[in-house]
Amino acid sequence: MGDFTVTATTDVFLPILVFCIAFGLSMDYEIILLTRILEEHHRTGDTTQAVTYGLDRTATQFTWASLIVAVIMTALATSGLTFLKLVGVGLALAALLDATVVRGLLVPAVMALAGRANWWTPRWTPRWARPLTHLPDPRSPGRGARPEVIGKDHVSAAPASASTVARPSPVPNRRAR
């Protein structure tokens, strides 16, 4: 069995602890990935292209972060304490599985299959939660932007007047005072 000592039992809370730590480690990367996908979806309207863009923008960082976590957790596996060995091996495997299987295969496959259903918000969602799921439309020019195309064939370099610049809609107040 190598450097591992067989104790015949596993602490009851050990799998729960490993799961909770692994879930916390993977959730922040998942939020970053889904934010990149959502930004691209708002820009293009194409879910497949958005998933490809999100993975392309985040894959290198997530791979290196997962490898660093796996190396650190493998160092825990060299400890003399059985508890730390199990936590180290469990978290190293969780980091590697999250980077390869979950983020590389499951998330893109499920999002590509779900298509527009990825962005569905139920009506019963509280009013305060809906604005948090919508980003401003990046296709509309912001403050100070100049319209580049006046007509189909005419490009203008003239500065935009105040009436032609699209203003972002105000964010609704979350708490009424």
**pLDDT number for residue 49:** 92
Three-state SS at 62: helix
Q: Is the predicted pLDDT of residue 45 greater than 70, yes or no?
A: yes
**pLDDT number for residue 139:** 57
The total number of structural domains that make up the chain: 1
**Domain assignment present for 47:** yes
What does the pLDDT average to over 92-110? 91
Q: Is the predicted pLDDT of residue 165 greater than 60, yes or no?
A: no
Q: Which domain holds residue 49?
A: 13-119
**Domain assignment present for 130:** no
**Domain assignment present for 62:** yes
**Domain assignment present for 104:** yes
**pLDDT number for residue 80:** 84
**Domain assignment present for 59:** yes
Q: Is the predicted pLDDT of residue 47 greater than 60, yes or no?
A: yes
Q: Is the predicted pLDDT of residue 157 greater than 50, yes or no?
A: no
Average the pLDDT over each of 10-24, 49-63, 65-79, 158-172 and give the range with the smallest value: 158-172
Q: Please, are residues 141 and 166 in contact by the beta-carbon 8 Å criterion?
A: yes
Instruction: Give the helix, strand, coil percentages of the chain, each rounded to 5.
Output: 60, 0, 40
- Give the confidence band of 53 by pLDDT, cuts at 50, 70, 90: very high
**Domain assignment present for 61:** yes
Q: For residues 116-155, b (16+ Cβ closer than 10 Å) or e, as one string? A: eebeeeeeeeeeeeeeeeeeeeeeebeeeeeeeeeeeeee
Q: Is the predicted pLDDT of residue 128 greater than 60, yes or no?
A: yes
**Domain assignment present for 30:** yes
